[in-house]
Structure 1
Amino acid sequence: MTLNKLKRTAICFSLLAAFSCTDNFEEINTNPEGASTGQLEQDYNNIKSLFKPAFSRIYISDVTWQYQIQQSLQADGWSGYMITPVPFGDFNNYDYALNPGWNGYAWERAYVDIIANLYKIEQRAKGKYDQFYAWSLIIKAVQMQRITDMYGPAVYSKYGADGAVLYDSQKDIYTQMFKDLDFAVTELTKRIAANEASTFKGTDLSSYDGDYTQWVKYANSLRLRMAMRIVKVDPALAKTEAEKAVNNSIGVFKLNADVMKIKSPVDLNVIDVMSHSWVGLFMGADMQSILGGYEDPRIAKYWNTSEIKPGEYASVRNGVTYPSGTTYAKFSQTGPRTKTGEVTWMSTAEVYFLRAEGALRGWNMGGTGKELYEAGIKASFEQNGVEGAAAYAADNTKLPLNYVDPLFPANNTPAVSKVTVAWGVTNEENLEKIITQKWIATYPDGQEAWSEFRRTGYPKLFRIANNKSGGVISTELGVRRLPFAQSEAASNPEGVASGVTALGGADNGATRLWWDVNKANF
């Protein structure tokens, strides 16, 4: 996948209505005025302009159909969060007959919109304006962790090379991402210590407004997330990296003021558009089972009650037969949480739950597992503007609900999650509670929720009823990864071949990633 082979493709996609779209994919940040290099370098303009796409394209927040293909029709469903109950025909991710036209899109947009720009920043800033290079490495780690956790091996160290570009293994990608974060944290911390005024202001479109300290906290928190992801395949490195993050002089997220979020450039939330304007996205059965069973007050922030059962919630089970695109149109649509144009990249609640798991494993996380677990619940309640966190965290009786389909009783199924909220006794029991609460708090980022489900098996989710993968993907285990992009097979076949070799299995949705090892959590 060389620079000169990057494909500018436009995909016009619709669920329930006819949409027209055009996208000429002109080279990002071209200079129509013909300014000189010296003029562009004034106030770092030749570097700053390259950051802008990252704030809307990592979690696509400006074009609804692009978000839909990148994530909604994949991880958002496989995580149990939300469902688009439409009969898509022969290729439908929900019944595991994976759609290659959808599933390569995240890869293509990542390299065209993000990685290509970060590569230019490296060329222009490294060794000269290292604060910008450090910043770009944090953003690169955000994007590349998402990509490698979707596909496995990917283009990383060889990006920009001529000819065939070979893929790095996922192990090597994680190793390099940790090193990149080392550089970024060291560089920005040095500038903080020198009391340097931020050069990011005006360019930083996140809630941090260019604050170096906040970006270091985010880098440390991201390191903690990455460390936990690899705990079953390399527990020693996971412990080292997690403790490095938490015990850093600046540390990780501790207050909700630390939450990393951006504002959509078009001031909308694409999830809300899909659910309400398109009438095509509804509450997943697992959400109703878990939040409803716990009488969790966050449910009213995440979802609206339904028309099919006024005043009550109604959800859709993943992987059942959807008679038409309007059959479930009166079920629960998204609520106030996705009414704003804000997109959360990482929450303080997630960081507390990561630390709680680390403490469970005997790592130095600055608190006990129970203390950090309950702090995570409290942070999530506060983030969502609801009360009662202490009583909720102490409840040891409420359990997830059985699923009931108001239209088709054949879809009904018993609850699969059997844990209460209150801190338990065994490590495995408490891990299930931690991940279940992290799953609730991480909504609506289905990509992160799907990754944690694959790593731990939690929360326990309803199985699909119609597996059409032809025996390739296990109903019990679910989809483990996305096959490599078709555009790569056409433009970089040697690279794809190297990726399959590094993957160590078939290029399909059943092959486990490097960190997704078939072993117990403890």
Structure 2
Amino acid sequence: MTLNKIKRTAICFSLLAAVSCTDNFEELNQNQVGATTADLEQNFNNIKSLIKPAFTRLYISDVTWQYQLQQSLQADGWSGYMTTPNEFGGVNNHNYALNAGWNGYAWDDAYVNIIANLHKVKQRAEGKYDQFYAWSLIIKVATMQRITDMYGPAVYSKFGAEGLATYDSQEEIYTQMFKDLDFAVTDLSARIAAKEESKFTQTDQSSCAGSYSQWVKYANSLRLRLAMRVSKVNPSLAKTEAEKAVNQTYGVLSTNADVMKIKSPLDLNVIDVMSHAWGGLFMGADMESILGGYGDPRLAKYWNPSTIVPGEIKGVRTGIVYPTPSTYAAFSQTGDRTKTGEVTWMSTAEVYFLRAEGALRGWNMGGTAQSLYESGIKASFEQNGVAGADAYLADNTKMPKNYVDPINAANNAAAVSKVTVAWGTDKEVNLEKIITQKWIATYPDGQEAWSEFRRTGYPKLFRITNNKSGGVISTELGVRRLPFSANEVANNPKGVESGVAVLGGPDNGATRLWWDVNKANF
């Protein structure tokens, strides 16, 4: 795959510079044909223009090489979804030789293009136009959940403060994210009750279409995701926040009409471009093993048949020795699922699986663990336009299959996941079923899948065979986080120092995050 060279004539690298980069927004957003600042403020244009970039930057959906650096070269491979079978001159994150030039991009882009803008929204809207401030908080939480789950400590409460920004611990970030969602949900719910006409409609590029109630549902669903993430490190907080999310007046995503997604402004799907136009992004061996073993009809939606074994969908094992860039060029490339030009921020299926796990933990999730688990599978089948959910749910025989590499038998591997689909009686086994099915349904969002793998150990994935980390990263445990951005190290060294102080280990890919605790799931 071509690794496109980054070209930016000007970019603000440090967080201090990120704020100063946006200092001229008032000038940039002026109507050059005569509209005054008062006119712009009356129409909320001075706020709307700052929110718009988030719709394409949260999951970069309009520039392929930028998405590649934001997520494809990291979590999409570590999640087991897909792989880039080229070492780019001997360097490839998927063999744990972490590339600092790639791995800071998600951080830099989020702060420059989303968080700095949302800070401006806070300055202009808080206490004056609180519906926009509430909206910005939901987007801020969605952004920072991804950033903190990649890196750990980050700048949250002190963004925009005087001097170089210091970092909050991940525990502090999660605490503040819950509080920010409290404000957003309370404010927008009051406006719904008052029958206020939405002010978001012309700006909202998501499937919420400006609806306050849909944004509240999404905020509640985000809260549920955050709650589950902390379930092992702070189970009482997790239970409280999860039940608050599910039992709030407007609830969580519950039908496929609620799926939170955006349409790429260019009708582009960057994953499809990397796979087909660039010819270097292929299905991971774990997808072949798990979905192929289950006879899962979603497999043919996600991936095309290979030509290496004509008619068969064949994956490439991540983190092996790749003899040449073309060695695995005839394996399965992306299918219809990533040709729609749509990016899913959160699916209804994911929410059902979150609720299923909550119920398994004894929380009030509005249903039994089994019923919610089965609803999640049905929702995913419906979302992907495939039939046969009832028979699939009843299957207590099929299991993930062994992986066979038709190029090199040294890469063959016995299936590591042994669970069937049908609901069982053992609590830990049922959790593995829930997370495995959530992994299938969450495709292609490798970031969320990687986070859940780190939290639970599921689904069980093949280990890499070509570990080039020099002993830093365990082959058994895999990458646990991304090191802090190289631009931050250069431009905000005191900030990075404050982050390392609350990280709990060295600034490398082996240090576990706060919620990634080494303990049993129950």
1:253 matched to 2:260: no
- d(CA) in 2 for partners of 1:305, 1:40: 53
Is the Cα–Cα contact under 8 Å of residues 314 and 406 in structure 1 kept in the other structure? no
Aligned to 1:85: 85
Corresponding residue of 1:11: none
Question: What is residue 12 of structure 1 aligned with on the other side?
Answer: none
Match of 1:270 in 2: 270
* CA displacement, residues 219-257 of structure 1 (integer Å, 9 cap, x when unaligned): 000000000000000000000000000011110011000
Q: Pick from 29, 32, 41: which aligns with 1:31?
A: 29
Q: 2:344 corresponds to which residue?
A: 344
Change (3 A) 1:187 1:20: closer
For 1:430, the equivalent position in structure 2 comes to 430
- The residue matched to 2:344 in structure 1 has which SS? strand
User: What are the equivalent positions in structure 2 for 1:25-174 lying under 5 Å apart?
Assistant: 30-31=28-29, 33=31, 35-174=35-174
Contact 2:149 2:481 in 1 (8 A): yes
Q: Is the 8 A contact 2:29 2:46 kept in 1?
A: no
Change in CA separation of 1:144 and 1:60 when aligned onto 2, cut-off 3 Å: same
Q: In the alignment, which residue of structure 1 is the partner of 2:326?
A: 326
Q: Which amino acid aligns with 1:118?
A: L
Deviation at 1:516, TM superposition (A): 0.3
Separation in 1, partners of 2:118, 2:382: 35
Partner of 1:314: 314
TM-score (norm 1): 0.96
| Residue identity opposite 1:256 in structure 2 | N
Structure 2 equivalent of residue 16 of structure 1: 2
The residue that corresponds to 1:302 in the other structure is 302
Give how far 1:164 is off: 2.2
Change (3 A) 1:394 1:493: same
The 8 Å contact of residues 200 and 211 in structure 1, kept in 2 or not, is answered as: yes
Question: Following the alignment from structure 1 to structure 2, what is the Cα–Cα distance between the partners of residues 184 and 493?
Answer: 33
Counterpart check, 1:417 vs 2:417? yes
Q: Percent identity?
A: 75
**SS of the residue 2:402 aligns to:** coil
Counterpart Cα distance in 1 of 2:447 and 2:238 = 21
Q: In the alignment, what sits opposite 1:458?
A: 458
User: How many angstroms apart in 2 are the aligned matches of 1:316 and 1:475?
Assistant: 18
Aligned residue for 1:108, secondary structure, equals helix
Whether the 8 Å CA contact 1:17–1:278 is kept in 2: the answer is no
Aligned to 1:49, what secondary structure does the other structure show? helix
CA distance in 1, matches of 2:392, 2:4: 45
Q: Which amino acid aligns with 1:357?
A: E
* Aligned residue number for residue 375 of structure 1: 375
Q: Does the Cα contact within 8 Å between 2:30 and 2:36 map onto a contact in 1? A: no
User: Unmatched 5+ residue regions in structure 1?
Assistant: 1-14
Q: Name 2:478's counterpart in structure 1.
A: 478
CA distance in 2, matches of 1:189, 1:90: 53
Residue 87 of structure 1 contacts residue 323 of structure 1 at CA under 8 Å; is this kept in 2?
Answer: no
Partner of 1:192: 192
> Aligned partners of 2:145, 2:9: CA distance in 1, in Å?
27
| 1:178 alignment partner AA | F
> Residue 16 of structure 1 aligns to which amino acid in structure 2?
T
For residue 509 of structure 1, what is the aligned residue in structure 2?
509
Aligned Cα root-mean-square deviation (Å): 1.3
Structure 1 stretch displaced more, 16-25 or 201-210: 16-25
Distance 1:18 1:109, change over 3 A: closer
| SS at 1:261 equivalent | strand
For residues 255-301 of structure 1, the C-alpha deviation after alignment (integer angstroms, 9 at most, x for no partner) is 00000000111111000000000001000000000000000000011
Q: For residue 50 of structure 1, give the secondary structure of its aligned residue in structure 2.
A: helix
2-structure distance, mates of 1:365, 1:217: 15
Answer yes or no: is 1:243 the counterpart of 2:243.
Answer: yes
**Matched residue count:** 508
1:165, CA displacement in angstroms? 1.2
Are the counterparts in 1 of residues 30 and 37 from structure 2 also a CA contact under 8 Å?
A: no
Preserved contact between residue 104 and residue 486 of structure 2 (Cα < 8 Å) = yes
Query: How far off its partner does 1:24 sit?
Result: 4.3
- Relative to 1, partners in 2 of residues 1:18 and 1:54: Cα closer, same or farther, differing over 3 Å? closer
> How far did residue 144 of structure 1 move?
0.3
Give 2:482's aligned amino acid: L
- CA distance in structure 1 between the partners assigned to 2:212 and 2:4 by the alignment: 45
1:178 aligns with 2:178: yes
Tell me what 2:18 maps to: none
Contact kept? 1:16, 1:325, Cα under 8 Å: no
Contact 2:377/2:437, CA 8 A, preserved across alignment: yes
Q: Which residue of 1 aligns with 2:399?
A: 399
User: Contact 2:306 / 2:330 at 8 angstroms: preserved in 1?
Assistant: yes
Q: Deviations over 1:116-146 (max 9, x none)?
A: 0000000000000000000000000000000
The DSSP-based 3-state class of the residue aligned with 2:421 is coil
- What CA distance in whole angstroms lies between the structure 2 residues aligned with 1:494 and 1:58? 27
Letter in 2 for 1:462: F
CA distance in 2, matches of 1:519, 1:36: 59
